[in-house]
Amino acid sequence: MKTFDIHPTDKSLEGAIWQKIDNLNKPKGALGRLEELAAQVCLIQHTLSPSVAHPCHLLLGADHGIEREGVSVSPREVTWQQMLNFTRGGGGVNMFCRQHGFKLRIVDVGVDYDLSSCPGIINRKIDRGTGNFLYEPAMSDDQFNQAIQIGSDLVDDCIGEGCRLLSIGEMGIGNTSPSSIWMCLFGDVPLRECVGAGAGLGSSGIRHKYEVLRRAVENYKCRFGQDGATDVVRCLSYFGGFEMVAAVGAMLRAAERHLVLLIDGFIMTACALAAIRLYPASQDYMIFTHSGDESGHKMMLDIVNAKPLLSLGLRLGEGTGALCAFPIIDSAVRMVNEMNNFQNANITKYF
């Protein structure tokens, strides 16, 4: 696997950052979580004058072999149909990107449909969907490495356009299944507590999904032994989707390049958990934006001690929660850059 040079954020400016925040013309701590966010962005960028200019959103699409086992209420053709819908500006992700000024990149990493001639879709297809991990690894080592590199390269493309803040979304029918398994193996959580409704399964559908995933995990452990769960790269490649592994690569490259990274949704939180297991320091660069309705999401956020900004009941995927949370991060940055301080405002500092 490609290696990344990721270090914890440099804390040498922390005292100066908080001195600046505490001297803004407001009661100390009066802007609450905005102050914490501002300090985090300052530390990520190692500056007293942070920026979230040219925000970019990666929308990564791929299909999953495990979908053939009936683990999703939606058929796999919805993946490519939605990808085309995104190019026409008709998705929730399109609306929120327009609203908040994000550059949207729609990327085919492994959709089971020929989208190569579709304007507006970046073709990075590795294969037409992954293998069925109930019976075989989802991807080969070469495909895994390719997906990591694709995610990394996409981040470099964004940075080349001046991007300072990145969010990531996904489109892949069936991808709550590998996410549930990653949560189970990386978070040491019983699988039953990790499996939810996905796009809308009923109680019998959830039971079937659990049984399929339970058998898949048992087959995996029989093949690699109980210690296989501690091999992060092996777990990623055996169960993951191309869009999910590409997201992990993007997250790690974003941390390496000191971008502010917005994490949204069950699938992207699973990817963030994987990135943190590979490079613990990468979490310093992540802002967890939303706690959704998918079973286990709040528990997975608790595993990494994340405090999500929003709880709107979203379970759309696409990264919509991250986009909805962006104005809060923008307000935090504006606070530290634009608010006057006591001295310049000629106001007596009373604490």
* β-pairing verdict for 121-123 and 260-263: unpaired
20-24 long-range contacts, Cβ below 8 Å, gap at least 24? 20/48, 20/336, 20/341, 21/335, 21/336, 23/341, 23/342, 23/343, 23/349, 24/335, 24/336, 24/339, 24/340, 24/341, 24/342
Contact (CB, 8 A) for 165 and 259? yes
Contact (CB, 8 A) for 91 and 271? no
Contact (CB, 8 A) for 6 and 286? no
Say whether 47 sits in a helix, a strand or coil.
coil
Contact (CB, 8 A) for 184 and 177? no
Q: Count the residues in the chain.
A: 351
Which residue in 133, 132, 114 sits closest to 123, CA to CA?
114
Whether 318 is catalytic: yes
Which of 218, 294, 318, 338 is catalytic? The answer is: 318
For residue 130 the two structure tokens come to: 């992954």
Sheet-wide strand order for 260-263: 121-123, 103-110, 56-62, 165-171, 260-263, 286-288
Q: Which residue in this structure is represented by tokens 């490079």?
A: 279
Contact (CB, 8 A) for 106 and 61? yes
Distance, in Å, from the CA atom of 165 to the CA atom of 157, rounded to the nearest integer, reads 13
Distance, in Å, from the CA atom of 15 to the CA atom of 338, rounded to the nearest integer, reads 19
Nearest-Å Rg of the Cα atoms of the chain is: 20
Residues annotated as catalytic are: 318
